[in-house]
């Protein structure tokens, strides 16, 4: 039977890691996969995480199974932190998932099980969104609404795109720090989107994977909170993999908001059944660390301060990049208005390849750059490379 399978392409973004590693040029720059880096190009384990790991090593007395819901203390602490009292507690259920991707996968399967056939997604979006929903039987419908040239989110275009949605369709929203454009709706935009979703009877799915890396930890949740408090039913897929630097520990959670507590109980029973059929139970380590950090005032403060330092590094790199204004056809000034790890520059695949060949600058074929891949010297080199390209 295996002979019937067609070869599938690698993840082009993950392939860049290997290509960059194999490049012998000393001043090479990796702007590819979305992980945070410090000025030295490292993706360190956060100090609060190291301390929590030491506590875990000391205090954990069993590795016995926890159950498909994972670490309930983690889920509760995270729900309190992110959702707070935005929605009545008895309308929220949650469970731990393997990363934000696991939360999205459960979301897709729950939607499919609820008879939802379509999810509307602003385009471009994270490359995994459309295939993930499609594979679970929920057809993605793309709404082109991020303009790469001006690096703007077109709110009117997004709302107009939703004209095609039928009641009961789902809508995907990036909670903050849009991947790959880096531009989010403003407060008025979030309200308009929330009102529209409520009026049309759509089900919002908020993907919050970069909280704390945009405008600040609390502000970054405002979009998600605006949506959750406006609608009867919603899903929030949360990742701790960027803001706690836990990536390979696969740490995330899914929260579902229901009209009432009884419905919530039924929703949770379905999510638990889907989790059992997918991974039985989520991996423990990352969630235990987050639970320990959030439950310890000093550790929580230390984590928040380190996250804030990361956020400020991204903001100052954006300002440095943008200071060059327009080089050739590329408007870098627009990068200053973005948030989080990503911006997408108006570069053709040929130009992306040229920057790689001529200057050892690696980015996604779409022109997406990981801002954290820069440091002060790399920004200067990037500006020089764009000047060189404009002179060709």
Nearer to ligand TYF, 14 or 160 (CB): 14
Q: Helix (H, G, I), strand (E, B), or coil: what is residue 125?
A: coil
> Does position 161 bind ligand PLP by CB under 6 A?
no
Cis amide linkage into residue 221, ω under 30° from 0: no
End-to-end CA distance of the chain, in Å?
51
13 binds, among ligand PLP, ligand TYF, none (CB under 5 to 8 A by kind): ligand TYF
Closest separation in Å from C-beta 251 to ligand PLP: 7
> Residue from 96, 107, 179, 211 that binds ligand PLP (CB under 6 A)?
179
Is 126 an active-site residue?
A: yes
Number of H helices, E strands in the chain: 13, 15
Is 339 an active-site residue?
A: no
Residues 162-191 that bind ligand TYF (CB under 6 A): 179
Binding mask 329-368 for ligand PLP (x = CB under 6 A): ----------------------------------------
Return the structure tokens found at 281.
């139970």
> Does position 239 bind ligand TYF by CB under 6 A?
no
Strands (E), the chain: 29-30, 92-98, 118-123, 139-144, 146-147, 152-153, 170-174, 203-208, 234-239, 251-257, 326-327, 330-331, 342-344, 361-362, 368-370
Q: Helix (H, G, I), strand (E, B), or coil: what is residue 367?
A: coil
> Does position 101 bind ligand PLP by CB under 6 A?
yes
The dihedral region occupied by 2, where left means phi > 0, alpha psi between -120 and 50, and beta the remainder, is alpha
Scan for tokens 């009545």, then name that residue: 88
Look at residues 273, 224, 300, 231 and name the one whose alpha carbon lies nearest to residue 52: 300
Closest separation in Å from C-beta 312 to ligand TYF: 21
User: How far is 290 from 379, CA to CA, in rounded Å?
Assistant: 33
Instruction: List phi, psi (to 5°) of 150.
Output: -95, -5
> Residue from 28, 34, 77, 118 that binds ligand TYF (CB under 6 A)?
34
> Does position 128 bind ligand TYF by CB under 6 A?
yes
Count CB neighbours of 246 within 10 A.
22
User: How far is 295 from 303, CA to CA, in rounded Å?
Assistant: 12
Q: Segment near ligand TYF (CB under 6 A), from 9-17, 45-53, 139-147, 200-208?
A: 9-17
> Residue from 211, 239, 351, 375 that binds ligand PLP (CB under 6 A)?
239
Site size for ligand TYF, by CB under 6 A?
A: 8
Is 303 an active-site residue?
A: no
Count CB neighbours of 337 within 10 A.
14
> Does position 252 bind ligand PLP by CB under 6 A?
yes
Q: Segment near ligand TYF (CB under 6 A), from 7-15, 42-50, 280-288, 353-361?
A: 7-15
33 binds, among ligand PLP, ligand TYF, none (CB under 5 to 8 A by kind): ligand TYF
27 binds, among ligand PLP, ligand TYF, none (CB under 5 to 8 A by kind): none
Q: Segment near ligand TYF (CB under 6 A), from 10-18, 90-98, 143-151, 195-203?
A: 10-18
Q: Which residues contact 320 (CB under 8 A, 6 or more apart)?
A: 374, 376, 379
> Does position 220 bind ligand PLP by CB under 6 A?
no
> Does position 126 bind ligand PLP by CB under 6 A?
yes
Angle, CA of 9, 142 and 318, to the nearest 5°: 80
Look at residues 136, 105, 104, 95 and name the one whose alpha carbon lies nearest to residue 118: 136
Is 207 an active-site residue?
A: yes
Closest separation in Å from C-beta 328 to ligand PLP: 29
Nearer to ligand PLP, 98 or 264 (CB): 98
241 binds, among ligand TYF, ligand PLP, none (CB under 5 to 8 A by kind): ligand PLP
> Does position 244 bind ligand TYF by CB under 6 A?
no
For residue 49, give the H/E element and its range. helix 47-59
Binding residues for ligand TYF, per CB under 6 A?
11, 13-14, 33-34, 126, 128, 179
Binding residues for ligand PLP, per CB under 6 A?
34, 99-101, 126, 174, 179, 207, 209, 239, 241, 252
The residues annotated as belonging to the active site are 126, 207, 209, 242
């Amino acid at each position: 039977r295996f002979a019937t399978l067609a070869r599938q392409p690698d993840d082009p973004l993950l392939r860049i890691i290997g290509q960059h590693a194999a490049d012998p040029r000393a001043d090479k720059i990796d702007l590819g996969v979305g992980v945070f880096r410090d000025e030295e190009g490292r993706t360190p384990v956060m100090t609060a995480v190291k301390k929590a790991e030491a506590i875990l090593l000391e205090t954990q007395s069993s590795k016995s199974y926890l159950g498909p819901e994972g670490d309930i203390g983690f889920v509760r602490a995270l729900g309190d932190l992110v959702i707070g009292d935005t929605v009545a507690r008895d309308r929220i259920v949650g469970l731990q998932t393997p990363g934000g991707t696991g939360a999205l996968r459960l979301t897709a399967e729950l939607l499919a099980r609820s008879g939802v056939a379509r999810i509307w997604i602003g385009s471009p979006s994270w490359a995994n969104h459309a295939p993930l929903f499609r594979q679970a039987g929920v057809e993605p419908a793309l709404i082109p609404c991020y303009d790469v040239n001006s690096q703007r989110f077109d709110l009117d275009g997004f709302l107009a795109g939703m004209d095609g949605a039928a009641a009961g369709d789902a809508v995907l929203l990036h909670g903050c720090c849009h991947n790959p454009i880096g531009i989010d709706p403003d407060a008025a935009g979030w309200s308009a989107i929330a009102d529209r979703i409520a009026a049309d009877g759509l089900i919002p799915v908020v993907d919050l994977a970069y909280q704390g890396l945009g405008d600040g930890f609390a502000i970054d949740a405002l979009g998600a909170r605006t949506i959750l408090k406006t609608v009867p039913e919603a899903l929030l897929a949360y990742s701790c993999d960027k803001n706690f630097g836990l990536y390979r520990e696969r740490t995330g959670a899914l929260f579902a908001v229901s009209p009432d507590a009884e419905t919530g109980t039924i929703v949770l029973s379905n999510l638990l059944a889907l989790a059992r059929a997918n991974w039985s139970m989520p991996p423990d380590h990352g969630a235990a660390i987050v639970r320990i950090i959030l439950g310890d005032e000093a550790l929580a403060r230390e984590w928040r301060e380190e996250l804030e330092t990361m956020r400020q590094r991204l903001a100052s790199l954006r300002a440095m990049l943008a200071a060059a204004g327009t080089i050739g056809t590329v408007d870098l000034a627009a990068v200053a208005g973005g948030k989080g790890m990503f911006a997408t520059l108006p570069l053709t695949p040929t130009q992306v390849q040229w920057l790689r060949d001529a200057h050892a600058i690696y980015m996604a074929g779409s022109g997406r750059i990981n801002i954290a891949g820069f440091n002060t010297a790399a920004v200067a080199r990037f500006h020089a490379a764009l000047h060189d390209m404009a002179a060709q």
